[in-house]
Amino acid sequence: MTEILVGSYLFQRLKQLGVNSVFGVPGDYELMLLDLVPEAGLTWRGNPNELNAGYAADGYARVNGVGAVVTTFGPGELSNMCPIAGSYTEFVPVVHIVGYPTEAAQHGKNIMHHSLGEVGDGKFNVYHEMSKHITCASAVLHDAKTAASEIDKLLNAMLLNSQPVYLGLPTDIAMQKTPAINLKFPLTTELVPNKPELQSFVVEKIREMMGKAENPIILVDGSMYFYAFFMSPVLITLTNADTARNRLLKETKALIATTGFPYFATAMSKGFIPENLPTFGGVYGGAGTLPEAKKVVESSDCTLWLGSYPARPIFGVSNSIYSGEFTEKINENTTVDFQRFFVKVGGVRFDVKMKYVLDALVEDLKKKPLSYKTKSSMGSYLQDGDFVITETGTSAFGIPGSSLQHISDIQMFNQTIFGSIGFASGAAVGAFVAGKEAGTVKRNILITGEGSLQLTVQAFSDLLRHEVHPTVFVLNNGGYTVERLIHGMEASYNTVPVWDYGKLFRAFGPDFKTRQYTVKTPDELDALFADEEFKSSSCAQIVELFLGKHDAPLAMKLTTAAIEEFNKRSRMKRGKCR
């Protein structure tokens, strides 16, 4: 029987899942493994540290469908725990591959470097135990003969749950042979269909609620996007950004078109659902919603809520649909809650999968049309083909309020639930690389705040060397603005040190062409947005937007556009290409 190195088997499997780039930081327990990356036709994209690497893999997975990050035993993997916990929370499928000491070293209970150094007990299982809390499945390989099936089991778990998995790969096992035959059998990328009788019953219940409704709406939420990827049977053959864009969009668009109901986005789904249909109602986010959208959503007597996160947080105020403590005032009795593995109709839960229920519902609607009559409802810089990544905090909260009605083809995401600052810059590396590989993205735009940027500023280095020509907006208001709004408006701990961002940008990639701009007034910003050279994004660009210390996009009080907010302010210095 043909055999293959365990490490090669892993990378071949990832390649089958559409992975083209692998992120990480080289370490002594994984060096030989890295030799196998290019052999499998993948590109190694090392990062300055693991925090950046983990975010890059997350960003890549959100675009490409699956991401992979390699770290080394101990310090390396520990520094990747924050990114992995974020992927876990937000349902982003990432393989965390950890280079382990050899089997002999582990069984000998020796004190290896990077181990916790306990006498007589190397405690080689400690980091694995820690990782179990933040992954849906995990394994450390101990036997090359069963390695192929162990790897498949892990990857299938990742695909099923759309969450990260942890794979410990000892240096010796990685270079041993395992049967290659499994590679001929594809991984499981389709969910088991629903039971027909139960599905029919649920569709009937939904139709009942829809039939009685006078103000029905569709709320397209963000988890959709993550949950949905698994259901795409075309995943394996599609290796470009279309994969991400096509997840449950087809089903969602069909529902919107067939019902004619007004539809709304949320902060999590913003940018992934087109807003150019006449029935688009705006972005809903509880207390932060514009009054007209808020009124329509909260007075609805039939809410089809697709892929909601069980509860979305707004500044520490929990807003669970179950507990009633939400600022989102949506009546559970008149809501259909569509989830990956279940659908709740008026609070009653059924064990059916969203995707198949949506298909069946649309079919049913086509056969027996609704009598509903369509009603109607409600950014200069953003364009078709843009890929926009925004930071948790100031920059993310500003974007949902910007009108995207002129755009039909834009991608956008942020890390809404886990909310780890520094995520955007790290994730942008992976996302922009994935977009570049797919060839469908015209401009890469990163919007972050200076406080967040300081955690993962090394990402500049990767953005430059992978030549993704990002346009980076740094909102500089001299501190942690979100924290200020919560507590400590004048406290020194909410101040961050003064950096020269333009100089940093150049210093992190002295060999690459870059442009830098500083903007201090709305006129300057208008001039910049009118500048053809700037708009073309033909090289990496950084724009430092100076805001007053206490400024924040109105969105944090009542959702509104960050970019429009800058327009209310004042002077732009023009950058030069170097």
φ and ψ at residue 440, rounded to 5 degrees: -105, -10
Q: Are 147 and 141 in contact (CB under 8 A)?
A: yes
Candidates 384, 444, 378; CA nearest to 413 is 444
CA 12 to chain centre: 24
For residue 54, say whether it is annotated as part of any ligand binding site.
no
What is the spatial distance between Cα 410 and Cα 371, in angstroms, rounded to a whole number? Answer: 33
User: Whose Cβ is closer to a second copy: residue 25's or residue 187's?
Assistant: 25
Binding residue (CB under 8 A) for a second copy from 287, 311, 378, 558 = 311
User: Whose Cβ is closer to a second copy: residue 439's or residue 510's?
Assistant: 510
The residue range among 40-48, 150-158, 179-187, 370-378 that interacts with a second copy, by the rule CB under 8 A, is 40-48
Binding residue (CB under 8 A) for a second copy from 1, 2, 119, 192 = 119
Q: Does 467 bind a second copy (CB under 8 A)?
A: no
For residue 110, say whether it is annotated as part of any ligand binding site.
no
Taking each continuous run of H as one helix and of E as one strand, the counts in the chain are: 25, 22
The residue range among 142-150, 358-366, 411-419, 435-443 that interacts with a second copy, by the rule CB under 8 A, is 411-419
User: Whose Cβ is closer to a second copy: residue 152's or residue 450's?
Assistant: 450
Q: Does 129 bind a second copy (CB under 8 A)?
A: yes
Binding residue (CB under 8 A) for a second copy from 98, 174, 389, 421 = 421
Give the amino acid at 431.
Answer: A
What is the spatial distance between Cα 229 and Cα 270, in angstroms, rounded to a whole number? Answer: 17
User: Whose Cβ is closer to a second copy: residue 236's or residue 314's?
Assistant: 314
Q: What letter does residue 194 receive in the DSSP assignment?
A: P
Give the amino acid at 133.
Answer: H
Q: What letter does residue 314 receive in the DSSP assignment?
A: B
The residue range among 28-36, 298-306, 371-379, 399-407 that interacts with a second copy, by the rule CB under 8 A, is 28-36
User: Whose Cβ is closer to a second copy: residue 80's or residue 240's?
Assistant: 80
User: Whose Cβ is closer to a second copy: residue 32's or residue 254's?
Assistant: 32
Query: Which x/- pattern, by CB under 8 A, does the window 364-403 give for a second copy?
Result: ----------------------------------------
What is the spatial distance between Cα 539 and Cα 556, in angstroms, rounded to a whole number? Answer: 32
Q: Does 341 bind a second copy (CB under 8 A)?
A: no
What is the spatial distance between Cα 429 and Cα 56, in angstroms, rounded to a whole number? Answer: 5
User: Whose Cβ is closer to a second copy: residue 110's or residue 276's?
Assistant: 110
Q: Which of residues 487-546 bind a second copy (CB under 8 A)?
A: 487-488, 491-501, 503-504, 506-511
Q: Does 126 bind a second copy (CB under 8 A)?
A: yes
Binding residue (CB under 8 A) for a second copy from 9, 11, 60, 88 = 88
Binding residue (CB under 8 A) for a second copy from 315, 363, 536, 577 = 315
Q: Does 74 bind a second copy (CB under 8 A)?
A: yes
Closest distance of CB 108 from a second copy, Å: 7
488 CB burial (10 A radius; 0-12, 13-18, 19+): middle
562 CB burial (10 A radius; 0-12, 13-18, 19+): buried
Q: Does 106 bind a second copy (CB under 8 A)?
A: no
- Tokens representing 52 are 């950046």
Q: DSSP strand E in 495-547: where?
A: 514-521, 540-546
What number of chain residues touch a second copy (CB under 8 A)?
100
φ and ψ at residue 571, rounded to 5 degrees: 140, 130
Q: DSSP strand E in 226-310: where?
A: 263-265, 280-283, 302-306
Q: Which of residues 135-194 bind a second copy (CB under 8 A)?
A: none
Q: DSSP strand E in 331-489: where?
A: 335-338, 343-345, 348-350, 386-390, 411-413, 443-449, 470-476
Q: Which of residues 435-464 bind a second copy (CB under 8 A)?
A: 454-458, 461-462, 464
Q: Which of residues 320-339 bind a second copy (CB under 8 A)?
A: 320, 322-323, 325
| End-to-end Cα, the chain, rounded Å | 57
Binding residue (CB under 8 A) for a second copy from 309, 413, 546, 566 = 309
Binding positions for Mg(2+): 477, 479
Binding positions: 477, 479
